[in-house]
Amino acid sequence: MTIWTLIRRSLRYHARAHLGTLLGAAIGAAVLTGALLVGDSVRGSLREMALARLGKTHLAAATGDRFFRPALAREILSGSETFSAAALALPATMSSGEGSARANRVQALGVDGAFWKLASQSPAFGEIPADGVVLNAPLAAQLRVKAGDTVLLRVSRVSQLSRDAPLASQDNATAALRLKVHAIVSDAELGRFSLQANQVAPFNAFVPLDRLQREAGAVNGANLLLVSREPKSDLKPAEADSETLAKTIAQQLRTSWKLADAQMELRVDVTNGFVELRTPRIFLDPPVVVAATNAFPGARLIQTYFINELRAGVRAAPYSMVTAAGAPLVPAEMSDDEILLNQWLADDLRAAPGDTVALRYFAVGTARTLEERTNSFRVRAVVPLALPYADRALMPDFPGVAKAESTRDWDASLPIQAGRIRPQDDRYWKEWRGTPKAFVTLAAGEKLWSNRFGTHTAVRFPLPAGATGTNALAALRDDIEVRLLAAVDPTSVGFRFEPVREQALAASAQGQDFGGLFIGFSFFLIGAALLLVALLFQLGVERRAQEIGTLLALGFTPAQVRRLLLGEGAALALLGSLFGAAGGVWYARAMLHGLSTVWSEAVGGATLSYHGSPGTLALGIIASVLVAVATLWLALRKQAALPARELLANENVESHASENGAPKRSRGFAIGTVAFLSALALTGWAFTAADAAAAGIFFGAGALLLIAALAFMAAWFARLSRADAGEHLSLAVMAERNVARRGRRSLATAAMLACGTFLVVSIGAFRLDENAGASSRASGTGGFTLLGESALPVVHDLNTQSGRDFFGLDAKALEGVSFVALRVRDGDDASCLNLNRAQKPRLLGGNPEALAGRFTFANRVDGVLPDRPWKALKRGEFYPMKDQPLAADEVAAIGDAASIQWALGKKLGDTIEFTDERGRAFKVRLVASLAGSILQGSLLIDEAEFAQRFPGEAGYRMFLVDAPSNRAADVSAALTRALSDTGLELAPASRRLAQLNAVQNTYLSTFQVLGGLGLLLGSAGLGVVVLRNVLERRGELALLLAVGFRPSALRRLVVSEHAVLLLLGLGAGVGAALVAVLPMWLKPGAQPPPISLCITLAVVLNAGLVWTWGATVLALRGELLDALRSE
């Protein structure tokens, strides 16, 4: 007979005794494997969402406020396996036809048939009619509409000049389209299309491309270029080819694009013999200017600016154009403090060479603020009002001005005082339009009027020497276009292709590890199952003492016997793990159902589906077997250590385990006293500590109180074990003595219940309360009452009267209300509400001084002043090391601590790479972190840095509102009504904080639920302890029965002594936990403990009593007198 045969037969013979061990192993394996499957499912769901929102898209270039020809998408095709589509994406709002429902932050997408070819599943609907719109399911649900219903789409109109620019018109900023819902598109049909890695589907409205172009003023324009490489087998992308594909597309773009795709145009001036490069964006991009002058060294730069006033002494001419240029308009030897006046202006001002002329003009500030400045120049000469000076083309197409027939028709957003315009000014405009009245050097103009939108308004290319005629100009034009397109880097004008598919898959793969998270949540449940396995297996081994003695007597060594028993246990662990793996699938499905319903706040409302893999199941089985076998090995260490004679005589194994090592009474009392006094000291300190630290201090006090309770318990057991034998005995006294008889086992049982109860209950101390000190500037709300976001930018300062007047806001309604407005560069949500790993987080640009004294900083790097941490955002104020400022390509940023650590996987001092609008890479350095704030999800940088790098991001789209709390609802209603066209959506700041806090609070609730199940299972271990104790004492109990005790009295004796352990364990855990959660209950408006927690503890208590009673009845059945005869 081999050892394997012996193991197999032993398993069959002791099958009934092994059922409990098998069940415990199966439960542990089910929970462990299920937790791993939850992690797989979350990752799989995120991957599925990522592929659904992108369809077959691999690369994407989003050009923002820059527009290219849609035909470019067809022209850059590089092969049969690649196709592309152009779309027009604009921010919008939408309401149902009757206005009963509204959706803000809608993404209006102008698309054609090529776009739908990117969908994983071909759409079921046909071509969208001109008056139709296709909605995705979330938007249709928000508006409560269906196919055939009417909706109103309000979309942002295109402005060639940034609406932040002073001359940009603010009228007709939106266009309203009344459309009929053509169909509701599913996720598989590209309904949740988005370039941001977020599991929450956006609000998408799909409109025919030509209709949206026409209504939004972007005729023949698109700002989204999507590229796909058709997979050869299935929808799984070839991520490794993303870099190669990007390079191929970039090369194709260089050979296919035209000047119109960079919003540039060439104008041939036959009269003056030159070709002029200009842009409808008014200011040429600096990289374009550099490329033009490098390719054509003789190119002439032009800068024309709108001047408020030219004054010579007491005479002044209002609102004129002044041009900065080089030769031949301005003499090469002219100095930067000199000016040329045309004859009309010289006559009007009665100025002559040598006189001084002052220019007043508006300088563009960081926001849409205007600072009026004055500079004086000396008149060098007066030039005739004839060519080349009488050139109205020197003025760019300023919106609202260039096409006006009269000065009375000017529609510029500048604060023009119409009363200052004289009749002669209007006559000049009608005859000469925007012909400049004065000229300065190019260097002077660049110094005075350069701004973040650009500097130069045109570049002129003269004919080469000796060339004349129309044909020469046409040849020059063609040459300029070819050389300019070759010299300009497409990325510098917005064409940057991002590997969006690769980024999306990385974001889903690197997201929150829910497998590890649920193993942590379930560790009590797993631990309870393993404890049950160990207790049941050990009990079975102890009941086989005679069998073990026989094996030893036959010559087996103790080590061989232990290996034999461990082999049995390993077989049980393997079988239990196989059963448990099947149960793990159901456990995972149950947890996913919980995450999609009652625990949905932990996953930001995402709907998760089951995605299990054979590899994860195998890993779960292997891990479960290893853990179970390790547990059994620990349980068997002392088995087979007794002599064979004693085992054959079936002497009590436990009686040989010396109890003399039980803790001494004095030691237990001393430890308990020190721990108790320390707990009191910590509690007193916690009452004086700040709220953020108080929770941790109270938790520490509760933990010390738990240690004190267990130490006093050990001292009590030691006292009982040494009590006077002559003391009067009763059932109660006997119960006490029996509790202390095996002090270590009793203490371990009570400690297990106490620790489990303490953690399950006290974890509530770490629940976050958004209402605690919400009005304080140091709280997570920063003292702000409302938080708002708009779909369309707001370019007016709501803190000024002019800004409030623009929106018709009542001064009384906003009395005592102030705003901190933030610029927004869209990116991935880096809050705990997003399960994906943010690849490019959203950037906010704000004024650091406006946030001074608000929020609490969790940490900061060296160089950030503790009393002025927000100043670190200002360039020149922050010196990270050895008084060295940030590098030129670095920007300081502050973010929420949770965003930095969990959503971004970064730490303070790290950098994140970004690319600005002109294709220039720069780094954002994390210099400080906020503790639990409403700014979680974004990184905040200085507004000046933001505006410099993203000049196309006009206005503000996030607002922190400081308003009296008792008027918050009225202020919110007034703002929402007045700014309805911008899609402003306001909510209490405390509500936003509650949404963020709900993630941690839901995690804690999940832990408490699963921990409660672990306690419930652990209470079954108490039943095994009872069974073990009673079986060891059958002879003693038989003696009591022989001297006259009734069986019912014996049952009460056993139940009462073990009920004491149950009550001691639960009581010590709950008592210590009450101290830990004290700060939460002391807060105003605190809620009582969840009913579910109270029910859990009640169930654990009753279950423990039931297990104890059942084990007692089971152990006392049969003839006890037989046990007495064997003594």
Tell how far CA 230 is from the center of its chain. 31
Look up residue 610 and give its amino acid.
Answer: Y
Burial of residue 166 (number of CB atoms within 10 Å: 0-12, 13-18, 19+) = buried
| CA-closest candidate to residue 1006, choices 524, 650, 538 | 524
Q: What percent of the chain has pLDDT over 70?
A: 88
Buried b (16+ CB within 10 A) or exposed e, 513-538: ebbebbbebbbbbbbbbbbbbbbbbb
Higher pLDDT, 872 or 240: 872
CB atoms within 10 A of CB 693: 12
- Distance, in Å, from the CA atom of 894 to the CA atom of 872, rounded to the nearest integer, reads 9
| Confidence label for 736 from pLDDT (cuts 50, 70 and 90) | low
Q: Is the dihedral of CA 1020, 1022, 1025, 1030 positive or negative?
A: negative
Ramachandran quadrant class, 711 (left: phi over 0; alpha: psi -120 to 50; beta: rest): alpha
CA R_g for the chain? 40
Quick check: 1015 and 755 in contact, CB under 8 A?
no
Residue 509 has pLDDT above 70, yes or no: yes
Tell how far CA 565 is from the center of its chain. 51
- Distance, in Å, from the CA atom of 154 to the CA atom of 1122, rounded to the nearest integer, reads 91
- Summarize the confidence of residues 207-212 as an average pLDDT: 96
The label of the residue with tokens 């950037």 reads 843
| Confidence label for 760 from pLDDT (cuts 50, 70 and 90) | confident
Residue 194 has pLDDT above 80, yes or no: yes
Show the CA angle centred on residue 950, arms to residues 276 and 868, nearest 5°.
140
Look up residue 320 and give its amino acid.
Answer: S
Please give the biggest Cα pair distance in the chain: 136
SS3 129: coil
| CA-closest candidate to residue 303, choices 438, 442, 206, 437 | 442
Tens of pLDDT, residue by residue over 391-404, are 999 999 888 888 88
| Confidence label for 661 from pLDDT (cuts 50, 70 and 90) | very low
| CA-closest candidate to residue 262, choices 287, 294, 238 | 287
- Distance, in Å, from the CA atom of 606 to the CA atom of 600, rounded to the nearest integer, reads 7
- Summarize the confidence of residues 797-826 as an average pLDDT: 91
Tokens read off for 399: 């919106």
- Distance, in Å, from the CA atom of 925 to the CA atom of 1102, rounded to the nearest integer, reads 56
- Distance, in Å, from the CA atom of 200 to the CA atom of 606, rounded to the nearest integer, reads 6
| CA-closest candidate to residue 331, choices 386, 280, 389 | 389
| Confidence label for 717 from pLDDT (cuts 50, 70 and 90) | confident
Tokens read off for 897: 């601590």
Residue 1028 has pLDDT above 80, yes or no: no
CB atoms within 10 A of CB 176: 12
Q: What is the pLDDT of residue 1125?
A: 58
Sequence-distant (6+) residues with CB within 8 A of 201 are 53, 136, 137, 138, 187, 191, 192, 194
Quick check: 91 and 156 in contact, CB under 8 A?
yes
Sequence-distant (6+) residues with CB within 8 A of 43 are 508, 509, 511, 514, 611
- Summarize the confidence of residues 538-559 as an average pLDDT: 78
Residue 91 has pLDDT above 90, yes or no: yes
Higher pLDDT, 242 or 241: 242
Q: What is the pLDDT of residue 1081?
A: 64
- Distance, in Å, from the CA atom of 738 to the CA atom of 377, rounded to the nearest integer, reads 106
- Distance, in Å, from the CA atom of 739 to the CA atom of 721, rounded to the nearest integer, reads 9
Residue 255 has pLDDT above 80, yes or no: yes
The DSSP letter of residue 913 is E
- Distance, in Å, from the CA atom of 119 to the CA atom of 292, rounded to the nearest integer, reads 41
Tokens read off for 877: 């104020």
The DSSP letter of residue 572 is H
Look up residue 1016 and give its amino acid.
Answer: L
Quick check: 1018 and 1096 in contact, CB under 8 A?
no
Q: What is the pLDDT of residue 655?
A: 47
Q: What is the pLDDT of residue 235?
A: 38
Half-sphere exposure of 850 (CA within 13 A, CB side): 18
Tens of pLDDT, residue by residue over 568-616, are 888 888 998 999 899 999 999 999 998 888 888 888 777 888 998 899 9
Sequence-distant (6+) residues with CB within 8 A of 686 are 693, 694, 697, 698, 701, 1078, 1079
Tokens read off for 385: 């009002």
Q: What is the pLDDT of residue 1090?
A: 62
- Distance, in Å, from the CA atom of 904 to the CA atom of 829, rounded to the nearest integer, reads 10
Q: What is the pLDDT of residue 710?
A: 83
Tokens read off for 1019: 């209470």
Phi/psi at 323 (5° precision): -110, 135
- Distance, in Å, from the CA atom of 103 to the CA atom of 144, rounded to the nearest integer, reads 11
Q: Is the dihedral of CA 801, 807, 809, 814 positive or negative?
A: negative
Sequence-distant (6+) residues with CB within 8 A of 50 are 197, 501, 504, 505, 507, 508, 836
ω into residue 328 within 30 of 0, thus cis? yes
Quick check: 300 and 325 in contact, CB under 8 A?
yes
Q: What percent of the chain has pLDDT over 90?
A: 41
Residue 723 has pLDDT above 90, yes or no: no
Cα separation values, 1019 from 20, 511, 648, 687, 962, Å: 14, 36, 33, 36, 53
Tens of pLDDT, residue by residue over 37-53, are 998 999 999 899 989 99
Cα separation values, 1032 from 543, 913, 1027, 1028, Å: 9, 69, 9, 6
| CA-closest candidate to residue 242, choices 60, 117, 50 | 60
Lowest mean pLDDT among 131-145, 326-340, 459-473, 647-661: 647-661
Quick check: 371 and 363 in contact, CB under 8 A?
yes
Phi/psi at 332 (5° precision): -60, -30
| Confidence label for 1127 from pLDDT (cuts 50, 70 and 90) | low
Tens of pLDDT, residue by residue over 454-492, are 899 999 999 887 778 889 999 999 999 999 999 999 999
Tens of pLDDT, residue by residue over 942-960, are 999 999 899 888 889 999 9
Quick check: 662 and 721 in contact, CB under 8 A?
yes
Mean pLDDT of the chain: 85
Tens of pLDDT, residue by residue over 371-380, are 889 999 999 9
Beta bridge partners of 207: 110
Cα separation values, 861 from 864, 868, 881, 909, 923, Å: 6, 13, 10, 7, 16
Higher pLDDT, 750 or 214: 214
Tokens read off for 828: 């991935």
| Confidence label for 87 from pLDDT (cuts 50, 70 and 90) | very high
Cα separation values, 964 from 57, 742, 955, 971, Å: 48, 65, 26, 9
Higher pLDDT, 827 or 237: 827
Beta bridge partners of 360: 309, 374
- Summarize the confidence of residues 300-314 as an average pLDDT: 95
Higher pLDDT, 423 or 1067: 423
Buried b (16+ CB within 10 A) or exposed e, 985-997: bbebbbebbbbbb
Quick check: 142 and 181 in contact, CB under 8 A?
no
Lowest mean pLDDT among 284-298, 450-464, 678-692: 678-692
Tokens read off for 587: 């456990």
Residue 650 has pLDDT above 50, yes or no: yes
Tokens read off for 400: 């609202």
- Distance, in Å, from the CA atom of 631 to the CA atom of 636, rounded to the nearest integer, reads 9
- Distance, in Å, from the CA atom of 891 to the CA atom of 876, rounded to the nearest integer, reads 11
